[in-house]
Amino acid sequence: MNLFDQISEDIKKAMLAREKVRLEALRGVKKEFLEAKTAKGSNGELSDETAVKIMVKMVKQRRESARIYEENNRPELAAGELEEAAVIEAYLPKQLSEEELLAELKAIIAETGATGPKEMGKVMGVATKRLAGRAEGKLISAKVKELLA
């Protein structure tokens, strides 16, 4: 079962269980999926890879919103955003630990033959594709910079 079908099924389950936060989060995900499926230039299909990218973006948005709410002294709104982020994260691939990330990046650096900071772009191109959804882009970038320095 692909992610789109899984989300649709889980929306039904959340409705039956009357899980308000879960239902809201999953409806938001499905809305984004439908927009991606019907976007200009798409073929009406949604690959799991694209779905993961969408969900990573949504989690990042929820966290950013929660941070802003915290800064503006609205902890109840921040908590809601973080709960939705947790629901969405459950559908994402397991995040890599720092050790696993470093091992993957060292392998990619060896594979691309990069030797210094000037070749960071070459490494980042491969790394972002291979580690999509399993590590945050900022973290990948920082570790690549550290390894190539």
CATH of the domain at 74: 1.10.1510.10
| pLDDT at residue 72 in the model | 96
Residue 69 · residue 78 · CB < 8 Å: yes
Q: For the segment 62-101, what is each residue's pLDDT rounded down to a tens digit?
A: 999 999 999 999 999 999 999 999 999 899 888 888 888 8
Same domain, 83 and 104: no
Q: Say how many CA atoms lie within 13 Å of 83 toward its Cβ.
A: 12
| 1 secondary structure, DSSP code | -
Neighbours of 7 (CB within 10 A): 21
Q: Are residues 73 and 117 in the same domain?
A: no
Q: Crossing angle of helices 120-130/98-112, nearest 10°?
A: 130
Domain housing 120:
98-148
The more confident residue out of 70 and 134 is 70
- Split into its structural domains, the chain has a count of 2
Q: What pTM does this model have?
A: 0.75
pLDDT higher than 80, residue 132: no
- pLDDT-derived band at 109, boundaries 50, 70, 90: confident
Same domain? For 49 and 119 the reply is no
What confidence tens digit (pLDDT) does each residue in 3-58 have? 889 999 999 999 999 999 999 999 999 999 999 988 887 788 888 888 888 998 99
pLDDT at 126 over 80: yes
Q: What's the pLDDT score for residue 92?
A: 86
**Residue 79 and residue 52 share a domain:** yes
